[in-house]
Amino acid sequence: MLSFNDLRILEPEQLWQEFSVEEQTQAWQQSRTQAYSNNAARWRAYQNYLCLKKFEVWLTTQADLQDRPKVWPEPRELSSLWELVNGSAIALGKTRLLLVPDEALNLQELCVPQEWVDIPEWAAHYYLAIQQNSDERWFRVVGYATHDQLKQEGRYDPMDRTYCLERQKLIQDLNVMWIGRELSPSRELAVAALPALSEREAVGLLNQLSQPSLYSPRLDVPFEKWAALIANPNWRQQLYQQRTSEVQVSASIASPKVWVKLSQWAKEALEAGGQVIDELTASPTLASATARGVTKTEFKERIPLGDSVVELVVTYEPKTEQECRVRIKVQPTDGQTTLPPNLQLSAVDESEANREQVRASDTSPAIELPPLIFDQRERFTIQISLAGFEPFEKSVEVEVSQ
C-alpha cells in the first residue's frame, strides 16, 4: 500500500490534505450533535463537515486570494442541506466553489447532484471532485469542472439526478481556476429560473416528504417541484425539522472507528507533550530509539476522567515478522498513589468477540491487562471508563516493524 507521501509524488498537480484524528473526532461529534433522520444523512454530514473545514483552512493560507472564504449558506443551515443532498459550497467574493466529497477508492468521474447545478441560488462556478479516504485520513482534489462544462459535456443521469463528467476531462491544477477567476471575477451563470410553487403546493409536499426514511426524499417528486421547495430557505428548514422531529437522536449511535497506527499514536503522544521512552536507554524521543534499531517502544498519555487524571502506558514490541506483543497499563499521576475505585481498563478486538478487562479496587496502585499478542494489521480498541464520566477510547491498528 502506497503511503500518503508516495501518492502525492505520483500526482503532484493535485491538492492533497491530511486529517488528524482530532479533526475526524470533531467532525463526527459535530454530526452527532445535529439531528438527522437516518444514518446515511449523518454520515454525509460527517464527510462534508470534515472536507469543508479542511478545505476552508487551506484556502485561508493562499496569500494571493484577496477574498475571505465564506461558507454558504450560513453554518447553522448546513444540517438542513446535508439531510437532503451531498455537497458543500464556499464563496470567494462573487465566485462560488462546490466541494463534492466521494469515498470511491478509484474515483473515475465527478458526479454532482442536480440541485447544485439547476437551482439558480445554489449553482456554482467551479465544482471540485474530492476523493476522501477516512481510513487513511486524507483527501485529494482530483480535479474540477466549470458549470458550463457540466451542462455541456457532462452526462445527466435521470435515475439519481446527477451531472457526471469523466475524470480525464477535469482540470487538475487549481492555479488554472484562480487565473480563470481573475479573468472573469463576476461572471453570471446562465441558470433557468424554476417554476413558481404556491404555498398550498409547498404544504402538500412538506406533508408528503416529511416522514423519516432511510434515504433522502429528493427523488420522490419531480425535480422542478422538489427544487422550488428546497430553494426556499424557510420551506427547506421546515422539511428538515419535520423529518427529524420524530427521530430520537440517541447518544448510543455508534461512532465510526477512526483507526490510528501504533507508531503514529506514539508520535502524536510525544507532540502533545507526552513521553515516548526507549526502555533500554530511557531516551525521551522516538526518533533516537528508532535510529538505533531498538524495537521496544513505550509511550505515555495523560487521560482526564472527570476530576481525575490518570496515565495510560502502552508498550509494544515486535516478536516475529508478523506478531507484536502489546502491554497496556493505567497508573495514577499528579502525586496520587492509587487509582479511582472501579476505574476499568479493557481491550477489545475489531470483531468485539474477544475482550480483556481489569478493574481497579479501592487501593489499586495501577491496573494492567495481560500481555496481548496481535498479528500485522490486526485492530483493537482500548477503553478506559469510570462511572459517571465520558469514557476514553482509542482504536489502534498494529504494524509490525523490526
Give the model's confidence band at 9: pLDDT under 50 very low, under 70 low, under 90 confident, else very high.
confident
Cis peptide before 73 (omega within 30 of 0): yes
Q: Are 126 and 113 in contact (CB under 8 A)?
A: no
Q: For residue 188, how many other CB atoms are within 10 A of its CB?
A: 8
| Domain shared by 228 and 183, yes or no | yes
- Bridge partner residues of 397 (DSSP): 261, 379
The highest-confidence range among 36-40, 163-167, 187-191, 278-282, by mean pLDDT, is 163-167
In the sheet with 138-146, reading across from the earlier edge strand, the strands are 15-18, 138-146, 126-133, 95-102, 88-92, 70-72
- Is 48's pLDDT higher than 90? yes
The highest-confidence range among 57-66, 206-215, 265-274, 382-391, by mean pLDDT, is 206-215
Q: Which residue has the cell 452526462?
A: 155
Q: Which residue has the cell 473526532?
A: 25
Query: Among 94-103, 178-187, 235-244, 271-280, which stretch is predicted with the lowest mean pLDDT?
Result: 271-280
At which of 185, 214, 245 does a domain end?
Answer: 245
| pLDDT confidence of residue 350 | 84
Give the model's confidence band at 182: pLDDT under 50 very low, under 70 low, under 90 confident, else very high.
confident
pLDDT digits (tens, 9 = 90+) for 248-276: 444 344 456 778 888 888 887 776 655 55
* Domain contains 148: yes
| Average pLDDT of the segment spanning 383-396 | 83
Query: Among 6-10, 101-105, 150-154, which stretch is predicted with the lowest mean pLDDT?
Result: 6-10
User: What letter represents residue 171's amino acid?
Assistant: I
Give the model's confidence band at 185: pLDDT under 50 very low, under 70 low, under 90 confident, else very high.
low
- Is 244's pLDDT higher than 80? yes
* Domain contains 254: no
Q: Are 379 and 350 in contact (CB under 8 A)?
A: yes
| Average pLDDT of the segment spanning 64-89 | 91
How far is CA 1 from its chain centroid?
21
* Domain contains 252: no
Q: Are 18 and 50 in contact (CB under 8 A)?
A: no
Determine the angle formed by the axes of helices 233-245 and 223-231, rounding to 10 degrees.
Answer: 100
Per DSSP (E only), the strands in 84-167 are: 88-92, 95-102, 109-113, 126-133, 138-146, 155-157, 162-166
168: which DSSP letter?
Answer: G
Could you give the 3-state DSSP secondary structure of residue 92?
A: strand
| Domain shared by 166 and 270, yes or no | no
Q: Which long-range contacts (CB under 8 A, 24 or more apart) does 29-33 make?
A: 32/249, 32/251, 32/253, 32/255
| Domain shared by 189 and 316, yes or no | no
Grid cell for residue 32: 452527532
| Average pLDDT of the segment spanning 316-343 | 88
At which of 214, 245, 276 does a domain end?
Answer: 245
| pLDDT confidence of residue 255 | 53
Q: Domain with 300 in it: what CATH number? A: 2.60.40
| Average pLDDT of the segment spanning 237-247 | 86
User: What letter represents residue 369's amino acid?
Assistant: L
* Domain contains 253: no
* Domain contains 318: yes
| Average pLDDT of the segment spanning 326-336 | 90
Query: Among 1-10, 27-36, 54-63, 173-182, which stretch is predicted with the lowest mean pLDDT?
Result: 1-10
Question: Element (H or E) spanning 304, and its range?
Answer: strand 297-305
Nearest of 105, 3, 25, 133 to residue 395 by alpha carbon? 25
Query: Among 100-114, 119-133, 299-313, 334-348, which stretch is predicted with the lowest mean pLDDT?
Result: 299-313
| Domain shared by 55 and 183, yes or no | yes
| Domain shared by 217 and 270, yes or no | no
State the total domains in the chain: 2
% the chain with pLDDT above 90: 47
- Bridge partner residues of 130 (DSSP): 101, 141
| pLDDT confidence of residue 198 | 94
| pLDDT confidence of residue 175 | 86
| Average pLDDT of the segment spanning 55-64 | 83
Q: For residue 210, how many other CB atoms are within 10 A of its CB?
A: 19
Determine the angle formed by the axes of helices 39-60 and 21-33, rounding to 10 degrees.
Answer: 130
| Domain shared by 114 and 40, yes or no | yes
The highest-confidence range among 7-16, 188-197, 248-257, 259-268, by mean pLDDT, is 188-197
Q: Are strands 379-385 and 95-102 parallel, antiparallel or unpaired?
A: unpaired
Q: For all residues of the chain together, what is the average pLDDT? A: 85
By residue range, what is the domain housing residue 277? 259-397
| Average pLDDT of the segment spanning 382-400 | 83
| Domain shared by 121 and 95, yes or no | yes
Q: Residue 217 and residue 363: Cα distance in Å, rounded? A: 57
Q: Which long-range contacts (CB under 8 A, 24 or more apart) does 10-16 make?
A: 11/140, 11/172, 13/172, 13/173, 14/140, 14/141, 14/142, 14/143, 14/172, 15/58, 15/140, 15/141, 15/174, 16/138, 16/139, 16/140
Locate all alpha helices (DSSP H) within 103-198, ordered by sequence.
Answer: 115-118, 147-153, 174-183
pLDDT digits (tens, 9 = 90+) for 109-147: 999 999 999 999 999 999 999 999 887 889 999 999 999
Query: Among 81-85, 152-156, 242-246, which stretch is predicted with the lowest mean pLDDT?
Result: 242-246
